Structure 1
Amino acid sequence: MAKPLTCTALASLGLAAVAACAPSPAPGPSSYAAEGGRPCFAASEVHNFRGDDSGPIYVRARVSEVFELATAGCPGFNFANSLNLRPDGASDQFCVGDSGRFMPSGAGTAGVVCAVRVTRKLTPEQVAALPDRLQP
């Protein structure tokens, strides 16, 4: 039985054969849905947020996706100028139904850590129906 050719052996055959040993392209973007089709986003994809101390928080992920995060309230959230989200568990994604923690930062928010749960991904119509002060 013949031994399989290694990349070194292929390289000795010519440049065209070396292409077969080139590294595979990086995989495409990760799936934005968990098993079962739950919509997801990564904390690093959030680029805007709105909410208040006592109600849901709305985050805009990627370009046009808005997710609602339920919270029991978060003191000082109205003063936050950035939001550090951390999912509970090993995944780096938040999917509908997942829980996590967020730490708002800004004047009056020092040391605040609040629990959140992703309740839903809003449709464009639902986003448009939000009051201006809550649209991320």
Structure 2
Amino acid sequence: MKTTIAIAMAGAALLAASGGPGAVARDQTPGYSPQQCFYTRNVTSFAAPDEHNLYVQVNGRDVYHFDMFGPCPDIDWNQRLALVSRSSSWICNGMDAEVVTHAAGIGRQHCFVRHVRKLTPDEVAALPRRARP
């Protein structure tokens, strides 16, 4: 499913007061690399093959995999969702991100992210069609 993602940024002033992007460098997430961080405003599309996985395209070339904490209702059917940065406009790991979606019959759902990881070009090429943003 290719579509444009609606981006929502929240809490930028809060993190700016607490260190802004400089705080990103102190992340202790295993496998963390500053090169895997991205600005929410640079997200251009998304694909969700199921309720546990989200793939977002950034700057038209990079793809990131979002592993959700639990099922995110109807994320795999939605044409729009919001990617909210919980600390600043940067997303570097799962704690930085929240996905907001509208589930049929339930309404707005806030889905928490366990891990965020930038995929290699080979991993992007190996994605099933339904998972390609």
TM-score, with normalisation over the residues of structure 2? 0.66
State the shift of 1:56 in Å. Answer: 1.4
State the shift of 1:96 in Å. Answer: 3.4
State the shift of 1:116 in Å. Answer: 1.3
Task: Give me the whole-angstrom Cα distance separating, in 1, the residues matched to 2:62 and 2:55.
Answer: 10
- The residue type equivalent to 2:82 in the other structure is N
Task: Give me the whole-angstrom Cα distance separating, in 2, the residues matched to 1:97 and 1:54.
Answer: 16
Seq. identity, % = 30
Give yes or no for contact 1:101–1:113 (8 Å, CA) kept in 2.
yes
Q: CA RMSD in A?
A: 2.2
Confirm whether residue 73 of structure 1 aligns to residue 71 of structure 2: yes
Deviations 1:75-118 (A, max 9, x none): 111221112111222x111013543211125x727312111144
- The residue type equivalent to 1:61 in the other structure is V
* Structure 2 portions without partners, runs of 5+: 1-20, 27-32
* Structure 1 portions without partners, runs of 5+: 1-30
Q: Which has the larger radius of gyration?
A: 1
Confirm whether residue 124 of structure 1 aligns to residue 121 of structure 2: yes
Q: How many residues align?
A: 102
Aligned twin of 1:82: 80
Q: Structure 1 runs of 4+ off > 6 angstroms?
A: none
Deviations 1:31-82 (A, max 9, x none): 8xx4273211111111111113432110001120000111121111122111
TM-score, with normalisation over the residues of structure 1? 0.65
